[in-house]
Chains A and B, each alone.
Chain A
Amino acid sequence: MDWHLLGLTFITVFISELGDKSQIAAIALSGNTKSHTGVFFGTAAALLLASFLGVLLGEGTAHLLPARVIKIVAAIGFAVLAARLLFFNEASITNVEEEA
């Protein structure tokens, strides 16, 4: 095991990911969910898969989907999540009251 390389990768990724949008999204998602473990495992699994694809790509064995199209889809997804939380939030408010 190449511990030096392991440490280098860990520090590089950890620093570049701190405060990045996926971590901020994890904060926002886990703030208003009832399943924190669901958010944690969902976030971790997604990041692991994305990084696994990155490693495969670096080795030249895979081709990535069109990143721009995917980002636009993700942007629309986040916009809809935002719109629901901000403008169509009756269901969640009643749910919260029922739970309490």
Chain B
Amino acid sequence: MNVDVSVESLSPHVEADLSPVEAVIDSNQEAASSVLVQEAIVESNSDTTAASHQRWQFWQVFSSTFLTIFLAELGDKTQVSTLLLSAEFHNPWVIFAGSALALIATSLLGVLVGRWLASHISPALLDKAAGVIMALISVWLLLEVIQG
């Protein structure tokens, strides 16, 4: 565990990080640094720190991923197609099951591809690429708003 960051120097940064909007869109890297500081304050035992660090990191990543994907996906063509299918066939649970399986499969594929990329590309380049992709998704969403 690397908790050698000085708490004093990072505390203002952490407070700035905890505004509601920031919390929602917090990137994983930022989360990691604030996690380190919070744990340096709360805990000193290194074993418990490592375990709770992992747990905290999971929920940080989970919630930020959940929010961004959920917001991006609302009103998207997948949701519209499940809507139309269930309106047509009146069998919502089968439709939901089929759609759920497909969505789990595609997100698993996405994560596996991302993990493969992470092991073959340098972190700095990967951050740049991810940043460009996020910017493109943002433009994509705005175009949908303009066209819709």
Q: What is the interface of chain A, defined by CB distance below 8 A to chain B? A: 1-2, 5-14, 16-18, 20-60, 64-65, 67-68, 70-86, 89, 91-93, 95-96, 98-99
Contact = CB atoms under 8 A, between A and B. Distances in A.
The 10 A-B residue pairs with the shortest CB-CB distance, nearest first, are A9-B98, A42-B65, A92-B29, A38-B61, A30-B114, A26-B110, A85-B131, A58-B86, A67-B75, A82-B134
Interface residues of B, number: 90
Contacts of A91: 29-30, 33
Interface in B77-110: 77-87, 89-92, 94-110
Specify the main secondary structure of chain B where it touches its partner: helix
A74 B95 contact: no
Interface in B106-148: 106-111, 113-115, 117-118, 121, 123-124, 126-135, 137-142, 144-145, 148
Nearest to B92: A55
B104 A31 contact: no
Contacts of A82: 131-135, 138
